[in-house]
Amino acid sequence: MGEEWGNVQLEDLYEQYSDAIFRFVLLHTGDSQHAEDITQEVFIRAYKGLGQFEGRSSYKTWLYTIARNTTHDFYRKKRPIAFLPSFFQNQPEVTEMTPSEIAELGEGVALLYEALSKLKPHYREIIVLRQIKEFSIKETAEVLGCSEAKVKSTTHRAMAALKKELNVEGFQHESVQS
């Protein structure tokens, strides 16, 4: 009974959140196949943890927390290069979308994506959560496992870094000020 309940819950969660989780992961990886794989892993981990979920946070922040950790784990396992000598390091950049995916975004947004992908990872994730996913400060703090004050200060810094990057990309003049 419990398992069936678990499966039903998982399917509900998948229906409700999988698209959002997929896009969240995609914004970090830039690769839709990896994003699908990670999304799959997220829901398997959620299934394993469903029995221990105490409802102290919402399902949404809980799943995003799993998604964040799974994304980190995925790339750490996939890219031991960072921890190994330099001859292993000729690997492709993680955040590269396919041409069709970039085209789909439109020129202005594609530039924005490029700028976003050049930010420090924790700046990128805070922008994704606060500005793109529109999480509250409290929700963002839950997902990132930090204080609300830290979320505020990091968001401010991250947005400043993004604007700086956009100026480099020439985005500011063409898109924002027009």
Partner 1 sequence: MNPFKADLELKKKLQQLNKVSRDTKAKQMTWSKIERKTVRMNWWDKMRRRLLHPIVIGPAVAFLLLLIIPNSFFNENSPSPHSSDQEIESDGMVMMDQGPLTNDEDDSPVESMKGSEEIDDKDYLDVLAYDVQTESDFENFYQFIQTETVADVGDEYKNTILNLLEDLDQLIKLKYMEEIIDLAQYLDPAFYENYPALLYNLFETDPMEFLNGLTEIDMGSEEVIVSSLTQYGKEKNKLSDMLSKIKHHIGDKSLLNNVERRRWNDLVAALGYEKYAGTDVEGEVLQKSEEVISFLMDDFSGLASFIHQEQGIQILNNPDKKSGLLFSRAEINSMEEVSIVSPLGKQLDMKKDEENLTSNELADETSQHLLDVVSLKYYQDIPNHPDELSTIHQEYPAGLYAEFQPKDMQNDHNEGNAFQLIFEDQEGTWYLVGIIMEGLLDSILESS
Q: What are phi and psi of 113, to 5 degrees?
A: -60, -45
Cα separation, 119 vs 159, in Å, equals: 10
Between 136 and 153, name the residue whose CB sits nearer to partner 1: 153
In the complex, the smallest distance separating the C-beta of residue 139 from partner 1, rounded to whole angstroms, is 16
Between 136 and 147, name the residue whose CB sits nearer to partner 1: 147
Q: What are phi and psi of 12, to 5 degrees?
A: -60, -45
In the complex, the smallest distance separating the C-beta of residue 54 from partner 1, rounded to whole angstroms, is 20
Cα separation, 71 vs 34, in Å, equals: 9
Tell me which residues touch partner 1 (CB under 8 A). Answer: 3, 6-7, 10-11, 14, 18-19, 22-23, 26-27, 32, 36, 39-40, 43-44, 47-48, 69, 72-73, 75-76, 79, 82-86, 89, 101, 104-106, 108-109, 112-113, 116, 120-122, 127, 131-134, 147, 149-150, 153-154, 157, 159, 162-163, 166, 172, 175-177
Nearest to 115 by CA among 76, 107, 71, 143: 107
In the complex, the smallest distance separating the C-beta of residue 163 from partner 1, rounded to whole angstroms, is 7
In the complex, the smallest distance separating the C-beta of residue 61 from partner 1, rounded to whole angstroms, is 17
Between 52 and 86, name the residue whose CB sits nearer to partner 1: 86
Between 54 and 86, name the residue whose CB sits nearer to partner 1: 86
Q: How many CA atoms lie within 13 A of 145 on its CB side?
A: 7
Between 12 and 58, name the residue whose CB sits nearer to partner 1: 12
Q: Quick count: other Cβ atoms within 10 Å of Cβ 142?
A: 21
Q: Where are the alpha helices (DSSP H) in 1-133?
A: 2-29, 32-49, 59-78, 99-105, 107-117, 121-127
